[in-house]
Amino acid sequence: MLAIGLPLSEFLMSLSQFFIGGYWLLEGNFKKKWLRFKERKSIHLIISIWLLHAIGLIWTEDFHYAINDLRIKLPFLLLPVFVGTSAPLPMRQVKTILKFFILAVFAGTAVSMAVLLGFTHHVVNDIRDISIYISHIRFSLLINVAIIIMIYFLLSGKYKATQREIYIYSVLIIWFIIFLFILKSFTGIAVFFIMSFVMLLYWAFKKFKIKWKILLVSLILSAIVFASYYFYSGIKDFYTINEIDLTKLDTKTKEGNAYSHYLYHKYIENGNYVYLYLCEDELRREWNKSSHINYDDMDARGQPVKYTLFRYLASKGLRKDAEAFRQLSNEDISRIESGIANAKYFGNNFAAKRYELIWQIDCYLKGGNPGGHSVTQRMEYLKAGIGIIKKNFWFGIGTGDLNIEFAKQYKKMNSPLQKEFRFRAHNQFVTFFLTFGIIGFLWIMFSMIAPVFIEKAYKSYIFLMFFIVALVSMLNEDTLESQPGVTFFLFFYILFILGIKKDEEGSSVIQKIPQTKFPL
C-alpha cells in the first residue's frame, strides 16, 4: 500500500503507515523486539533526527509550525522502530513490493499523459500541471528510482528475469526516460544524467577491460567538453546584440503616436532590446480586441500579460506597436496568454530551455524580479537562507521559526520577490543548517550516513543509487519538509537499511552478477 501510495496518493501513504504500526502491535513478541531495539544502533541514530526536532522546540517561537513539522517527520520516530525491530523481509517479498511500486509509477505516467492529451478536465497551463497526485519534481525522482530498480531486475544474475519480463522492463525503462523529458523537470533530468554517469563509471571500473575503461572515460570527458561548449555558445549568442543606433531612434509610430524608449532597461530577447519602440496605447487597444485576457491582467503563469507581450514581440524582432501586433498569429496570441514570453520557448527542446535559463540569470543579475522563475527564485531563496545562517550559526533558529525568519530576512534584503513567491531555502541541507546551526546540522548528517555503513547498505546497488538520487534532490528541494518527501526518503532508506535480510541483500548486488555476459 505504501509503495503504491508514493506516486499516486498521500492518503495511502498515511493509511499504510497506520497498518504497519497496527501489525507491529498485533504481532506482539515485544521482548524480542526490545532486544533488537537495544542492539541496533542504526535505529537510535535515525530516530535521533526526530528527537533533535523535538529538542528544537526549546528555542522556537512559532509552536504551531513546529508541532506540524514534528507531525510530518513522525515517520523518522516510528518507521525505524516498526521495521527495525520486526523480522526482516526475504528478498522475494521485497521484489514483489518493488514491482507494485513500478506499476504505480507507470500508472502515474499514464494518468499524466491523459491529462496532457486533454482526456480529463484538468487545465494544463504549465507542463508540471500534468502531475496531479504529487509535485512534478517528486514524481520525476520516483521515476528515476523505478528505472534503477528495473535495471537491477534486468542485470541481476541472482534475479532470473524471464524473457517476458526482460521485454516489459526494457519498454518501461525507455518510456520512463521519454516521460522525464516530457515532464521537463530540471531536477529529474539532472538526477537521471548523474545517476547514469555513476552507473557507467561503476561498471567500467568493476567489469570492463582496460580499453573499454579508456573509451568510456574519453566519452565522458567529450560529453563534458561538448556540454560546456553548448552552454558557452548559448551565452555568446544571447549577448550578441542586433546593432541599432540609439541616437537615431524613431519617435512616432505609423499611426503618429509617440514611442517610449527606456534606454536604462538593458533587457534583451534574441538580441533585441525589449523596452525600445514601445507604444502602450496602441498595444492595449489591439490586444484587448484580440484576447480574452485584459491587457492589464495576468497571463496563465501569473505574470503581467503586457510584459509577456513586450518580450514576445522583441523576441521576433518586432516593435511594440499596433503594426507589429497585427503580424502576430492567433497561435502567437495563445502562447502569450499562456505565459510564453519568447518565440523560442515554444516546444520541448534543449535550445529553448538553455535560452530561458540564461535569460533568467541575466535578468536577475540586472536587478530584475526573480518571481515566477524557478532557477533565479532558488538563488534568492539561498541568499536569504545564508543570511539567516550567518545570524544563527551555532544553534540555528529552532524547529518552528522558518517562516518567521525568512519573512524577516526577505524584508531586510529588500527582496524584489512578491509575497506569494517568498518561500524557504529549497535546499534541505541549508534548511537543516539554519534550523539547528552547525552542531545540529553535523549530527543530522552523521545520523543519516552512519547507518549506511553500520548496516553495510552501501553494498546494495539499489540502495546506493537511491541514496544518490535522494541526496541530489536535497540540493534543489526541501525534500524532508513535506509528507510525500519524508515518505519517499524513508520508504527506501528504512527498507534497505533495516528491513531486508542481510544474508540476501547485505552485500553488493553488482558483485553478485559476475556470470552476467555483456556484448562488450
- Domain limit, last residue, from 345, 362, 388: 345
pTM of the model: 0.81
The three cell numbers locating residue 363: 535578468
- How confident is the model at residue 518, as a pLDDT? 32
Domain presence at residue 337: yes
Same domain, 116 and 14: yes
CA distance 168 to 162: 10
Banded model confidence at residue 103, pLDDT cuts 50, 70, 90: very high
- Domain range for 73: 2-193+444-512
Instruction: Please choose, from the candidates 407, 404, 433, the residue with its C-alpha nearest in 3D space to the C-alpha of residue 422.
Output: 407
Sequence-distant (6+) residues with CB within 8 A of 277 are 249, 250, 259, 261, 319, 320, 321
Domain presence at residue 297: yes
Same domain, 35 and 180: yes
Provide the number of structural domains found in the chain: 2
Mean pLDDT value of segment 123-139: 85
pLDDT digits (tens, 9 = 90+) for 254-276: 999 999 999 888 888 988 999 99
Domain presence at residue 61: yes
- How confident is the model at residue 347, as a pLDDT? 57
Same domain, 297 and 171: no
Same domain, 286 and 183: no
- Domain limit, last residue, from 321, 345, 369: 345
Give the rounded percent of residues in the chain with a pLDDT score beyond 90: 56
Domain presence at residue 202: no
Domain presence at residue 459: yes
- How confident is the model at residue 520, as a pLDDT? 33
CA distance 509 to 460: 5
Domain presence at residue 372: no
Same domain, 48 and 175: yes
**DSSP track, 35-52:** HHHHH-HHHHHHHHHHHH
- Domain limit, last residue, from 345, 378, 411: 345
Same domain, 278 and 178: no
Domain presence at residue 200: no
Q: How many residues does the chain have?
A: 520
Mean pLDDT value of segment 344-354: 71
Same domain, 23 and 143: yes
Same domain, 24 and 121: yes
Which residues partner with 373 through β-bridges? none
- How confident is the model at residue 244, as a pLDDT? 85
Domain presence at residue 457: yes
Stated as kind and residue range, the H or E segment containing 252 is: none
Sequence-distant (6+) residues with CB within 8 A of 220 are 197, 200, 201
Same domain, 184 and 289: no
